[in-house]
């Protein structure tokens, strides 16, 4: 079975930035296969980089991302691993930087995807917007779909 990591990122004290944390909570309630690891990394990018050293077949990052879409929109993309165009992800350690650090540790995830939601508010505030709250369930379904597709190709 292929090792899959679902790495959820976010800061619960900055409104919609808690999106990834909420997705992690919902995924941990699901009956997932033993080869799937779901972790809430919060804002601990260095911990994520070390986790990437565990040689995962697929890494699914879950976070907010500022893009030209309607707030609350959920989308899946494959981050460029050269560090270009990832600056809109909400945290200092972007997926590209985490992967780069992990590669320095000899880790090489075969594939990395980002399941993201466009935030409404990233200001200091412990309450997520209604649009992003609704997006949590959509993101959970997308993550489960990706896991299912990966398992089907085993």
Q: What is the CATH number of the domain that holds 83?
A: 3.40.50.1450
Domain containing 84 equals 4-152
Alpha carbon distance 19, 42 (integer Å): 10
What is the length of the chain? Answer: 154
pLDDT (0 to 100) of residue 79: 76
Q: What are phi and psi of 75, to 5 degrees?
A: -145, 160
Q: Whole-model pTM? A: 0.84
The total of structural domains in the chain comes to 1
State mean pLDDT over 63-75.
Answer: 89
State mean pLDDT over 131-139.
Answer: 97
Alpha carbon distance 128, 87 (integer Å): 22
């Amino acid at each position: 079975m292929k090792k899959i990591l679902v790495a959820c990122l976010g800061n619960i004290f900055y409104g919609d930035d808690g999106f990834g944390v909420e997705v992690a909570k919902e995924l941990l309630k699901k009956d997932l296969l033993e080869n799937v690891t779901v972790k809430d990394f919060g804002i601990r990018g260095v911990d994520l980089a070390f986790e990437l050293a565990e040689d995962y077949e697929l890494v699914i990052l879950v976070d907010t991302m500022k893009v030209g879409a309607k707030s609350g929109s959920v989308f899946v993309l494959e981050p460029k691993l050269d560090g270009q165009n990832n600056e809109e992800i909400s945290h200092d350690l972007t997926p590209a930087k985490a992967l780069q650090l992990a590669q320095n540790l000899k880790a090489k995830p075969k594939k990395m995807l980002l399941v993201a939601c466009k935030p409404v508010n990233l200001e200091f505030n412990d309450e997520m917007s209604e649009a992003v709250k609704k997006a949590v369930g959509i993101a959970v379904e997308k993550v489960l779909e990706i896991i299912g597709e990966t398992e089907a190709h085993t």
